[in-house]
Structure 1
Amino acid sequence: MTFQLDDSLGFILNRTNLRMKNTLLHHFKDYDVTPEQWAVLNRLWEREGISPKELSELTSKDQPTTVRIISKLEKKGFVKRKGNPEDGRAYLIYLTNKGQALQDKLFPLAFEALHKAIKGINQEQIEQVKVVLNKIFENLDR
């Protein structure tokens, strides 16, 4: 039995992930936002005033990577750090007005990229793929 890379689920997932990230990067280029930064911004649009640790958990990234992303977003003026009133050693992340305004600009671009990705795939198939991928994710957590 031989291993066929082109038939490998991991290879196919990785290749698809790279293509999706590059498509999103292309759509966001005018706003200087990467797909990784997009994920952090998304979580902050859902709920701001959270710690870097919470952000790393919510975006499935390690904490050092999350802190680097936060620093880049801060330099771009999209987020700000404020001291945590419950823990003087820690800080919480908030959106700036500029970061909040990005939501209305980036959502349509993200949907455009998504529609390109799912062209010719019906909603039932999309839901099946989500279920299967989430199951694989859960299986690998054990």
Structure 2
Amino acid sequence: MVDPREILGSIAIIYRSHLACMAKELEVYKIGSGQFDFLMVLYRKDGLSQETIAKTLKVSKATSTRAIKNLEKEGYVYRQRDENDLRAYRVYLTEKGKEVRKVILEKLVFFVDALLSDFTPEERELLRRLIRKASLKFHESEFKPLIFDSPIDE
């Protein structure tokens, strides 16, 4: 039997390295650690509720609110009351938020290319399929997994 600590430990190291790398790369844009994930969700579908974004990213409402407020303060997003539920807010990208998309995608591609530089194309594809299969186990049906298996339409 495989030691789960080996698998989960490796995933955790990759995840933390990914966050640290992205935080450093995006520091000049004043996009904090993990905040780019919120932008990535909005690139797929703009105008989601804060609650939907939190559920999609599997973070608490408090974490979501804090990240969105920081992104709003830096001018990447704006919040607007939901017309159907005045207690809720929908989050939209600003022009500045849309403009930084290409930079974020380039940084993500750079990180993944560096991570997988020693992998053959076949190993890359196998890893992609296995990670996607594992992520589907824990994903709600209302939103596609945030596995970047295809480029996001420009």
TM range (shorter): 0.7 to 0.9
More moved, 22-31 vs 36-45: 22-31
Question: 53, 77, 80: which one pairs with 1:79?
Answer: 77
Matched-pair contact (CA < 8 Å) for 2:50–2:88: no
CA distance in 1, matches of 2:128, 2:60: 23
Q: Paired residue for 1:26?
A: 24
Residue 42 of structure 1 aligns with an amino acid whose one-letter code is M
CA RMSD of aligned residues (A): 2.2
Aligned length, in residue pairs: 137
Where structure 2 has 5 or more consecutive residues not aligned to the other structure, the ranges are 140-154
Aligned to 1:46: 44
Point out where structure 1 has 5 or more consecutive residues left out of the alignment: none
1:94 corresponds in structure 2 to: 92
1:137: Cα distance to partner? Answer: 4.1
3-state SS of paired residue (1:93): strand
Mapped contact 2:48–2:92 kept (Cα < 8 A): yes
Q: Is 1:81–1:93's contact at 8 Å kept on the other side of the alignment?
A: yes
Which deviations, in whole Å up to 9, do the C-alpha atoms of 1:23-69 show, x marking residues without a partner? Answer: 22222222122341111101111111110111112222222211111
Percent of matched pairs sharing the same residue: 20
What CA distance in whole angstroms lies between the structure 2 residues aligned with 1:130 and 1:62? 27
Larger Rg: 1
TM-score normalised to the size of structure 1?
A: 0.82
TM-score w.r.t. structure 2 length?
0.77
Matched residue SS, 1:87: coil
Q: Is the 1:27–1:113 Cα contact (8 Å) retained in structure 2?
A: no
Cα pair distance change 1:109/1:138, threshold 3 Å: closer
Q: Higher helix fraction: Structure 1 or Structure 2?
A: 1
Tell me by how many angstroms 1:113 deviates. 2.0
Q: What does residue range 61-140 of structure 1 map to in structure 2 within 5 Å?
A: 61-138=59-136
